[in-house]
Chain A
Amino acid sequence: MINRLVYNRNLLINIICLFVLSVVAIAIQIKIDKKFGEYRVIENLLYVQKPEVLKKLIPAFHSFIADIYWLRSIQFVMSNNLKERVNDTYLLFDIITTLDPHFKGPFLFGSTFLAMSGIGANAPEQAIRLLNKAINYFPNHHTFYIYKSMIYYTDMQEFEKAADTMYEASKLIYANENLKFIAAVMYGKANQLAKAKTIIHELSDKTKDSSLRKKSEDLLMFIQATVDMEKLQLLLDIYYKKKGKKPISWQSLINMDLIKETPLDPTGIAYDIDQTQNKVIISQRSSLYQFKNRFKP
C-alpha cells in the first residue's frame, strides 16, 4: 500500500514537473519570438548570397530544399515590407529557382510580387530579371513571356517592349492566336501603327477563328481610323489657329476649304468632334467605338 502511494506520488511529481517545464519552455519561446522576431529564421535562409554556391553545398534533395525556401518565401512576402527588402526578395526566389529550375510557381509568384506596387516590392526590373531567367530555362513556355509583357505594359509603361515580348510569345508553338491580337493592340499603344498593321494582316490571313478574324478586321480599321484622326486633328488645329475658335461641326472646315466633305471612318460612320477639347473622336454609333481607349496613353 505504502509502496503504491510512493509510486503514485512519484508519478504525480513527474507529471507536474513535465507540465511546468513544458509551460516554461513555451513561455521562453514566446519571449524569444517577441524579442528577436517571429520570422528571424527566414533571415537565416538568406545567409548564402549566391544560389549557385548553395546548390553545390547541398548535395541532394534540391527539390525538397527548394520547397522549404518556397514555404519560407511565402511567409517572407506576407510578413515584410517588400519595398525595403527588394534584393532579399529577389534573392529568395533566385535561390528557389536555382535549386529547382523546373519549379515554375516561384518564377510567376516572385515576379508578380517583385513588380507589384501596392503590397509588392515595386521593382519591375527585378521581376523582369527573374522572368528572363525563367525564359532562359523554358524558352517555349509562353506564360513567362505574357507575364513579362504585362509587367512592361502595366508596371513600367514600356509599351513597345511589352508588344515585342507579347509578339514573341505569340510566335511560340501552341501559343494562343489571341496573343497576336494583344501584341497588335500593344504596338498601337506604343504608336507603332505599321507594326500593329503587319501583325493584324498576318493574323487575319492565317486564323480560322471567325470571331477573331472579325475582331482583327475591326482593329485594322481602327488603326486606319487612328491615322485618319491624326490628320484630321491637324486640320482642327489649323482651323483653331486661323479662326481663334473651335469648329462647331465638320461643315465649318468644309466652308474653309480644309476638307471637301464630312470625313467618315472605315466603317462609313462620320467622325465626331469633341467640342470641349477640340479633338477628333470615333462616333459612338461606329463599331470601332469599342477600341476608343486602346491606343491612348
Chain B
Amino acid sequence: MRKIYYIAQNTFLELIRDKVLYGLLTFSILIIAATYYISELSYGYRDRIIKDLGLVIITLLGSAISIFIGCTMLGKEIDKKTLLTLLSKPVSRTQIILGKYAGLSAILAISLLVMGGTLCIMIVCIGESLNLLLLVSMILIFVELSLIAALAIFYSTILSPTVSLFVTVCTYILGYFNDLLKHANETMPEGIQTSILYGLSFIFPNLNNFDISMQLANNMPIVWDFVFHSILYGLLYICCLLIAATLLFKYRSII
C-alpha cells in the first residue's frame, strides 16, 4: 500500500508540473467565467445557463485531461525507459498501475475542484444559492472522469499512446451513444445485429449514468436511488478496468 502511495505521490507531482494541464484549466476557467456574460442573453434563466454551460465545460475538459494524461502517462515512461528504473526496484506492475491511477485521480480531483469552484463563484455572483444537487453532479462527474482515466490507462497498457488516445476517444463517444446501442431494435429490424449492439451496450461504459445536468438545470429533486446506482456502477467498472489493465500489463514486454 505504501509503495502505491509513493508512486501515486510521484505521479501527482509529475503531472502537476505539466503545462498542458495548466493550459486546459486556464481555458476552462475563462469559459466558465464567460458564462456570467453569456447568461445575460438568456431572458431570465441565468442560473440555468451558467450551470449547464459550466457542467458541460467541466465534463468535456475534465474528460480531455483524463484521456490525454491517461493515454500518454505510461507510454512516456516506456519511451523514456524510466519505467525500467522503477521496475528494477521491488515494485510490482500492479502497484505501478494502481499508483499511476491514484495519482491521476488526484489530479482529476484537483482540476474538478478548481473548475467546480469557479462555477460556484459564478452562481453566487448572479445571486443564486448553491445547492446539494450541484455537489452531487460534481461527484458524479468525478466518477465519470475517473472511469475515463481507468479506460485510458487500460488501453495504454496494450496500445501505443496515439492508438490508445484514438480508441479511448471512440469509447468515450460510444459511452454517450450507449442508450442508442441498447435500443437499436427500435430503429432497425431486429436480428443478430441488434443483439450484438445490445451486448456491446453493456461492454462499453454508459456515460449517460453520470449526467444529471437536466435535473440541476431545472432544479428537480435528487433521485438518490439513481445517484447511488450510478456511483456503484462507475466504481465497479473502474475496478474491472484496473484489474484487466494490471493483468495485461503484467504480460507486456517493455524493453
- Determine if B56 and A64 form an interchain contact, defined as CB atoms under 8 angstroms apart: yes
Please judge, given known A-B contacts A56-B180, A67-B49, A100-B217, whether A61 and B42 are in contact too, CB under 8 Å.
no
B217 near A105: Cβ-Cβ < 8 Å:
no
Contact partner of B214 among A56, A59, A100, CB < 8 A? A100
A67-B48, A67-B53, A103-B218 are contacts. A74–B43 as well, Cβ < 8 Å?
Answer: yes
Chain A residues whose CB sits within 8 angstroms of the CB of B173 once the complex forms: 59
- Interface footprint category on A: 10 to 19
Chain B residues touching A, majority SS: helix
The 8 A-B pairs of least Cβ separation, nearest first, read A59-B176, A102-B218, A63-B214, A60-B176, A59-B177, A64-B52, A64-B56, A63-B217
Report chain B residues within 8 Å CB of A109. Answer: 43
> With A56-B180, A59-B176, A67-B52 in contact, is A105–B44 under 8 Å at CB?
yes
Whether A71 touches B49, Cβ cut-off 8 Å, given contacts A59-B180, A60-B211, is: yes
A45-98, CB < 8 A from B: 56, 59-64, 67, 70-71, 74-75
- Residue on A nearest B173 in the bound complex, by CB: A59
Verify if B170 is at the interface (C-beta below 8 Å from A).
Answer: no
Which residues of chain A have C-beta atoms less than 8 A from B187's C-beta? 56
Chain A residues 9-46 with CB under 8 Å of chain B are: none
B42 with A102: CB separation less than 8 A: no
Q: Cβ of B220: which chain A residues have Cβ within 8 Å of it? A: 102
Chain A residue numbers with a CB within 8 Å of B49 are 67, 70-71
Q: Which residues of B contact A (CB under 8 A)?
A: 38, 41-45, 48-49, 52-53, 55-56, 59, 173, 176-180, 187, 207-208, 211, 213-214, 217-218, 220
A102 close to B214 (CB less than 8 A):
yes
In angstroms, Cα B39 to Cα A74, docked, is 12
In the complex, residue of chain A having the shortest beta-carbon distance to the beta carbon of B56: A64
A positions within 8 Å CB-CB of B = 56, 59-64, 67, 70-71, 74-75, 100, 102-105, 109
| CA distance in complex: A62, B56 (Å) | 10
A74-B48 contact, Cβ under 8 Å, with A61-B213, A62-B214: no
Which of B45, B48, B179, B211 has a CB less than 8 Å from the CB of A61?
Answer: B211
Known contacts A62-B214, A63-B52, A64-B213; is A71 also within 8 Å of B180 by CB? no
Q: In whole angstroms, how far apart are the Cα atoms of A99 and B48 in the complex? A: 15
Given A59-B177, A64-B52, also A70-B217 (CB < 8 A): no
State which of A56, A59, A74 has its C-beta within 8 Å of the C-beta of B41: A74
Query: For B43, what are the chain A residues with a Cβ–Cβ distance below 8 Å?
Result: 70, 74, 105, 109
Q: How far is the CB of A62 from chain B (nearest CB, A)?
A: 6
| Chain B residues within 8 Å of A64, by CB | 52-53, 55-56, 213
**Cα–Cα distance between A75 and B43 once the two chains are bound (Å):** 10
User: In angstroms, how far is the closest chain B Cβ from the Cβ of A70?
Assistant: 7
**B213 engages A63 (CB within 8 Å):** yes
Q: For the complex, what is the distance from the CA of A60 to the CA of B179, rounded to whole Å?
A: 10
Contact A103–B217 (Cβ < 8 Å): yes
With both chains docked as a complex, state the minimum distance between the C-beta of B119 and any C-beta of chain A, in angstroms. Answer: 13
Q: Which residue of B lies closest to A72 (CB)?
A: B41
Residue pair A100, B218 in contact (C-beta under 8 Å): yes
State whether A61 touches B218 (Cβ < 8 A).
Answer: no
Q: What CA separation (Å) do A70 and B59 show in the bound complex?
A: 21
**Which residue of chain A has its CB nearest to the CB of B211?**
A60
Closest to B43 in A: A74
Q: Tell me the smallest distance from the CB of A114 to a CB of chain B, in Å.
A: 16
CA of A63 to CA of B218 in the docked complex: distance in angstroms? 9
Closest Cβ of chain B: how far from A99's Cβ, in Å?
9
Q: Which residues of chain B have C-beta atoms less than 8 A from A67's C-beta?
A: 42, 45, 48-49, 52-53, 217
**Complex contact A61–B56 (CB within 8 A):** yes
B212 to chain A, nearest CB (A): 10
What's the Cα separation between A59 and B209 when bound, in Å?
12
26 contacts between A and B (CB under 8 A): A59-B176, A59-B177, A59-B179, A59-B180, A59-B208, A61-B52, A61-B56, A61-B59, A61-B211, A61-B213, A63-B213, A63-B214, A64-B53, A67-B42, A67-B48, A67-B217, A70-B49, A71-B49, A74-B42, A100-B218, A102-B218, A102-B220, A103-B217, A103-B218, A104-B218, A105-B43
- Distance (whole angstroms) from the CB of A69 to the closest CB of chain B: 12
Report the separation of the CA atoms of residues A70 and B180 in the bound assembly, to the nearest whole angstrom.
25
Contact status of A71 and B214, CB under 8 A, knowing A59-B176, A59-B177, A102-B220: no
CA distance A60 to B176 in the complex (A): 6
B115 to chain A, nearest CB (A): 15
Q: What's the Cα separation between A129 and B179 when bound, in Å?
A: 29
A105 / chain B contacts, CB cutoff of 8 Å: 43-45
Contact residues in B for A62 (Cβ distance below 8 Å): 214
- Output the least CB separation between B170 and chain A (Å): 13
B214 nearest in chain A by CB position: A63
Residue of A nearest to B55 (CB): A64
A67's closest neighbor in chain B, by CB?
Answer: B52
- Asked whether, in the complex, the Cβ of B45 is within 8 Å of the Cβ of A70, the reply is yes
